[in-house]
Structure formats: structure tokens, C-alpha cells
Amino acid sequence: MIIVMKMSAADADVQGVVDRIQEFGLRTHLSRGEERTIIGIIGDERPINKEMLERLEGVEKVLPVLPPYKLASRDFKAENTVISLNGTRIGDRQVVVMAGPCAVENAQQMREVARVLKDVGVTILRGGAFKPRTSPYSFQGLGREGLEILAEVGSEFGLSIVTEVTAPEDVPLVAEYADILQVGTRNMQNYALLHALGEHRRPVLLKRGIMSTLQELLMSAEYILSHGNYRVMLCERGIRTFETYTRNTFDINAIPVLKDLTHLPVIADPSHGTGKWELVGRVARAAVAAGADGLLIEVHPHPEQALSDGAQSLKPERFVALMRELRLVAEAVDRGL
């Protein structure tokens, strides 16, 4: 951490800052410039509260030098984390597709989708049983019944299951039925939930908050890692900006940035990232070209009857065609799919 002192700071102020830092067992380094004095902290600055330093007499601003996450960083672990799941390796050379409807509605719907996935070689089925919805008057998901349908259809077709968990006390229940536990965008900073997932050791798909920075996403991953669970995937799913034509703005930059900063697999969700089925295919192709390790795509046999997110769901025919397109792009960037 670098502490920049005010032009008006007295020598006693400088000494006050130095003393405070030394209380934490760290050393300092002074640099007196023409306009301002600057104090550098030598050692691991992470335990020091930046805001506390900002309130010391004579301090103008405090600039962190190290990123605040550690276990999630490439500095800590250089090689890619690969998560294996019934033969599918996420984070490795193959781009992995997870697909299915936004919400589980009934067994027949899930079977229709599962059959399509099976035909095109997709091995992971998605579907929501617990649905966080903006309105209390909207369909909230089938709950436990939805989980049972997922597990049943998954085992019938030999597909792994990814589904959302929304409360810490539901973690054991959902983990009974699902292979990957998804943290939704509204829960990225639900720390009680992250804590529970850290202890449960089931693979986690952590979605970026709709208005969370990449650093905050990495900090939320750090919560799970620091509680002992290292099998975490990060998911870019679009952020909120001033643009209203699309539901969200898919942050394509996030993909190469995360691949450079962390060893964890990076998944793209072009369905939420655009909110419009017409755009999903082209943004999915872009995500693969940018280096995503996987895709999360909404597919619904009858989007015009979907109980949620119909506008962004692909019909099966379109999804099948998209898989062909994605394979070509994956090969062009030296990956498989």
C-alpha cells in the first residue's frame, strides 16, 4: 500500500502513519517528493484496513498495490484449474456447453431438452428449481420437485446437472440432486451462501453480480476457496449499464481478463448477457473466440410458453445449428467443443 500525504501534512503526521503501520508488524519506506511525502508499506498489506489509514491525520489517499484476493490468483497457482465431472473436464482444452431451460417446469419439458442435448454431445443439463424472481407474483420455481425431475432426467440421459441454490440452508438438499451448484447473480455477495458452499466441496458455478466488478467477483470466489472448496467456475453473464436495448451488456473483456488473472475456469452465459434469443448465437461465438472455457445456454422446447426468460431461450433447432457454428469457432482458436 502507498500512502500519499497531503501537501499540508506535518512531520508528526508522517510519523503517526509510520507508527500505525508498524503496530501491524510491517515496515515502511519514505519518499519525500517536491509536493508530497509518500509512504510505502513493505510486507503483506492485506490485513490492513485501507479506510482506517485514510482517517489518520494528514493522509490524502491510500493506493493498494497488491490485489486483495490471493488463492484465486495466477500468482498463487499458475496452471489452469480443471474440474472433472463424469468424464467432462471443465477448464481444459475442450469448450464445455451446459444447456437447458431457465426453469424446470415439468418432466416432459426436461426430457425434450435432454434428448436434444444428448444428440449434439452436450453432457451438462441446466434448469432452475429455486428461481429468484424480481416480482413476488411471478413463478418461483418447483423447488424440491424440480430437483427430483432434474436428477431423474439427468440419470435417464446420462447428463450431469447444474442448478441454482439460493439459501445456505438449501445447500445440502440441492447437493443431493445436482453435480454443480450455481450461485446466481443476485447472490454473488451472499456471504452466508458462499461460506456454506466453501464447506460443502461440491463444484460451484459462481455468476458475476449484475453490477459487480471483476475484482469483486474474484473476492467472492476467494470466499469459497478460503473455506476449502477449490472447484469454482466463474461466469460472465452480462452487466448493467446505461444501454437499454439489450437486457444486459455482455462484458466480453471479462473473459480474457479473468483468464489472465485467475486459474479458475471461465464460463460465458450469452442468454442472460443479451436477453434476446436473436443475439445469443453470435455472442456465444464471440465468447468462444475470446477464450471462454464453457457456455451456459438457455434452450426451451416452446419458448413462447416458458414460465420464465422465454425471450432469451433458443428453440432446439436453433441450438443444434449453433453447436455446429461453435465447433468451427472453437477449432479456429485451437480448442475443441
Contact positions with a second copy (CB under 8 A) in 286-305: 286-291, 303-305
Closest CA relative to residue 267, chosen from 76, 69, 143, 85: 85
Confirm if 127 and 112 have CB atoms less than 8 A apart: no
Confirm if 95 and 101 have CB atoms less than 8 A apart: no
Residue 245 touches a second copy, criterion: CB under 8 A: yes
Residue 18 touches a second copy, criterion: CB under 8 A: no
Residue 22 touches a second copy, criterion: CB under 8 A: no
Sheet holding 37-42, edge to edge: 27-32, 37-42, 2-5, 59-63
Count of residues making up the chain: 337
> Interface residues for a second copy in 248-277 (CB under 8 A)?
249-257, 260, 273-274, 277
Confirm if 216 and 209 have CB atoms less than 8 A apart: yes
Place of cell 501491524: 24
Instruction: Convert residues 30-59 into a mask of x (bound to a second copy by CB under 8 A) and - (unbound).
Output: -xxxxxx-x-xxxxx-xx-x-xx-xxxx--
Instruction: Convert residues 82-101 into a mask of x (bound to a second copy by CB under 8 A) and - (unbound).
Output: --------------------
Stretch that binds a second copy, among 106-114, 119-127, 155-163, 183-191 (CB under 8 A): 183-191
Residue 308 touches a second copy, criterion: CB under 8 A: yes
Instruction: Convert residues 127-166 into a mask of x (bound to a second copy by CB under 8 A) and - (unbound).
Output: -----xxxxxxxxx-------------------------x
Closest CA relative to residue 261, chosen from 70, 73, 91, 65: 73
Question: Of residues 155, 176, 191, 336, which one binds a second copy by CB under 8 A?
Answer: 191
Residue 79 touches a second copy, criterion: CB under 8 A: no
Nearest approach, Cβ of residue 163 and a second copy (Å) = 16
Confirm if 75 and 46 have CB atoms less than 8 A apart: no
**Cell numbers for 9:** 501534512
Question: Of residues 186, 199, 228, 336, which one binds a second copy by CB under 8 A?
Answer: 186
Residue 337 touches a second copy, criterion: CB under 8 A: no
Residue 237 touches a second copy, criterion: CB under 8 A: no
Taking the least distance from each CB to a second copy, the nearer of 159 and 181 is 181
Closest CA relative to residue 103, chosen from 153, 150, 63: 150
Nearest approach, Cβ of residue 47 and a second copy (Å) = 7
Question: Of residues 311, 318, 320, 321, which one binds a second copy by CB under 8 A?
Answer: 311
Q: Which residues contact 334 (CB under 8 A, 6 or more apart)?
A: none
Q: Rounded distance, CA 196 to CA 194, Å?
A: 5
